[in-house]
Amino acid sequence: MEFENTIGLETHVQLKTRTKMFCSCLLKTGCEPNTNVCPVCLGYPGALPVMNKEAVKLTVMSGLMLGCSINRHATFDRKNYFYPDMAKDYQISENGNPLCIGGGVEILRADGTKKLIRINHIHLEEDAAKINHYAAHSGVDFNRGGTPLMEIVSEPDLSNADEAIAYLTALKEMLVYAGVSDCNLEEGNMRSDVNISIRPVGAEKLGTKVEIKNMNTFKGIHAALEYEARRQRECMAHSIPIVQETRRWDGEALETASMRSKENAHDYRYFPEPDLVPVALSEEQIAEWKALLPEKPELRRARMMEEYGIAEYDAGVLSQHKANADYFEAAAKGLDKKTAKLLCNLYMSDVMALMNASGKAIGECAMKPEALRALVVLSAKGTINGPTLKELLPEIFEKGGDPEAIVKERGLGAVSDTAALESFVDQAIAANPNVVADYKAGKKAAAGFFVGQVMKLSKGKADPKVVGPMIARKLAAM
């Protein structure tokens, strides 16, 4: 019997706020354990929560970015459980009335077709503390406890591990674009609970669901899904019942292991949070937050291809990070498509190489977008040649400056006078009769030697594209 996978993801995203969800403690990574804490996030009796409006705003913006309907009357509940990472023995979360409902993320599948992965809802809650395990003991760091946490719950629309990663990649891209989260997996800003079941191909009823908790790497999620799909098929092949449970991923053994039987909603004894009033949103407030959203990445890619005449791959790379796309578009302002393509080629190769080598993001370098545009225009007009462009770019990237002024001050303009170029060519040929003989003997590559000689004589100002044909004509006539 053939089986198919049914996969759904519950993705937890820490929001980019200055303070915690229900208190004024600062959110800052790298601090000593238990230094950014207070009676509220430590769960002291009598300490009352105060809602973080910025967290509500960022959650609503996320929902709008993902096409959700916004619930104008959202409420918080207490999710009761006993565990060391939640000192008050309950988590404040949205259970019955979440902020965002519906929506979806479109992914590109391996066969090139598009697929919409529906979102069930997005709810807002507080994050738990972090449990650190040491050789002889374990400790709880409450610095993370109370961090505004958004949980994005997908419908079980995913069919395999590749689709799951495509969904998470697209989701991360949109949330980072909207500025709601850094989605830094290494710091735990984004992590997923993975739900997977199998059923006979064509069957309508879903199989028994298994959850894999707290996955915080795309590589781990992909491997865990592939392993769990195989394990469940092997269980079915040997008539071993699949039980609803929570499992963990062992990254060293590359397998999942049982943790506990899966809880249901009634196990948490949800009831309305008595210390918080409902979130009441007006249409005007929602419209105001919607106006803050950027263009969606996929729409931006299509527009950039049309507006600047660049390839789909280039548009994809440039739009992957909003800062790169913003910088490129600022530099391309007013350029025709031909020059914009030159700018794109330079950015994709040399500028990104400088970013990698220096460890600087584009916003951290000294080169302004208008300076890069001026540099490309000088090259396109033939005012400077390719070697001069490559020489100036690293300097301007590091120190800034006006390319036009630098070229004029240093006399770096390309030599375009035909008589001057012919003089350099004649000098190079006259000084190297042996190379001329090699050329006549059939070593056509010898012509490249003369290009280098002319560049030396012109102090790098000659245009190799002009000099090359000139040398070829001179040698052919000899």
Question: Which amino acid belongs to residue 64?
Answer: L
Do 281 and 305 fall into the same domain?
no
- Residues spanned by the domain of 328: 297-410
Do 105 and 219 fall into the same domain?
yes
Q: How many domains does the chain have?
A: 3
Rounded distance, CA 341 to CA 345, Å? 6
Record the pTM.
Answer: 0.83
Ranking 342-346, 364-368, 401-405, 449-453 by mean pLDDT, the lowest is 449-453
Rounded distance, CA 224 to CA 228, Å? 6
Q: What is the pLDDT of residue 264?
A: 65
- Neighbouring C-beta atoms of residue 97, cutoff 10 Å: 17
Do 405 and 435 fall into the same domain?
no
List, for residues 216-266, the tens digit of each pLDDT value: 999 999 999 999 999 999 999 999 999 999 999 999 999 999 988 766 656
What confidence tier does 470 reach under pLDDT thresholds 50, 70, 90?
confident
Do 423 and 395 fall into the same domain?
no
Rounded distance, CA 204 to CA 196, Å? 15
Q: What is the pLDDT of residue 280?
A: 96
Question: Which amino acid belongs to residue 42?
Answer: L
Do 323 and 404 fall into the same domain?
yes
Do 364 and 434 fall into the same domain?
no
Question: Could you tell me if 388 and 463 are in contact, meaning their C-beta atoms sit under 8 angstroms apart?
Answer: no
According to DSSP, the β-strands at 90-93 and 104-108 are unpaired
Q: 439: domain CATH number?
A: 1.10.10.410
Q: What is the pLDDT of residue 388?
A: 84
Write down the mean pLDDT value for the chain: 90
Do 36 and 90 fall into the same domain?
yes
Rounded distance, CA 449 to CA 460, Å? 14
Residues listed for the chain? 478
According to DSSP, the β-strands at 210-215 and 245-250 are parallel
Do 200 and 90 fall into the same domain?
yes
Q: What is the pLDDT of residue 428?
A: 73
Rounded distance, CA 298 to CA 350, Å? 25
Of the candidates 289, 312, 341, which is a domain's last residue?
289
Q: What is the pLDDT of residue 454?
A: 67
Rounded distance, CA 465 to CA 454, Å? 12
Mean pLDDT of the region 331-339? 96
Does residue 413 surpass a pLDDT of 90? no
